[in-house]
Amino acid sequence: MRRRPKRLDSTLNRLDGREGDIHIERLIVGMVQTNCYILENQKCKRAVVIDPGDKEEEIAQALEKKELELEAVLLTHGHFDHGLAAAGLAGRFQVPVYANQAERQLLADPHLTASFLLPGLSYTLEPGNWVQGGELLELAGVRLRALDTPGHTIGGTSYYLPDYQVVFSGDTLFCGSVGRTDLPTGDARRLFASIRDVLFELPPGTMVLPGHGGSTTIELERRYNPYLDESGFWE
């Protein structure tokens, strides 16, 4: 039986014991139940929002209720269900939106953002800040390393917090599953390489916070994910 990892919406302590606890809150937004995360630095009351897929007002109220100063919006990839509220939040709080530079063309094309799946929706976005794999960001007083994890989209990105061993995996890796690759710019080989060569190189106890569904850990996915068993995955 798989053990449940730590629940979401809880306080996490720095691994080195130094001051700087964070709180991660999950809001489930939009028609496809996207996980939007609010990463809060409890010491300075600053925050980062990751994948605001919808419900701008609800996200804004969650920030204002706790009197948090929003510092940035991060996108794991460019699909509409992860960024519909990004521009609104960025304008409302006067903060930048970050996305992988490889996602530039996708974000400029309403077909590539998969908004064609919803009649009448034409979603595009021009982030103010582009990141690349390996880049270390310091936002809201927290270190986040951008990891190139393409496959679900060409510019898929995971954000790893080395001081807390937490990774926001977007739609690359899920609890017991992996991201789909049948949408524009998807590539199954690249997806499995991203999981094997990037995410599975993180410490086993790393908490995985995906774009949909519940949380898990790197160790649990290495051991139990049925899509990632050794028959073919490691070839």
Residues above pLDDT 90, as percent of the chain: 86
Whole-structure pTM value: 0.94
CA dist., res. 45 & res. 149, Å (int): 30
Superfamily (CATH H level) for 10-228: Ribonuclease Z/Hydroxyacylglutathione hydrolase-like (3.60.15.10)
For the cut 60, the answer to whether the pLDDT of residue 119 exceeds it is yes
Tokens of 208: 């995985």
CA dist., res. 46 & res. 67, Å (int): 9
For the cut 90, the answer to whether the pLDDT of residue 214 exceeds it is yes
The DSSP bridge pattern shows strands 46-50 and 69-74 to be: parallel
CA dist., res. 174 & res. 216, Å (int): 8
Q: Residue range 157-168: average pLDDT?
A: 97
- Give strand pairing partners of 38: 25, 49
Q: Residue range 159-167: average pLDDT?
A: 97
Residues 84-107 have pLDDT tens digits of 999 999 999 999 999 999 999 999
Residues 122-131 have pLDDT tens digits of 999 999 999 9
**Residue ranges covered by each domain of the chain:** 10-228
Strands (E), the chain: 10-12, 22-29, 34-41, 46-50, 69-74, 97-100, 129-131, 136-139, 142-148, 157-161, 166-170, 173-174, 177-178, 207-210, 216-217
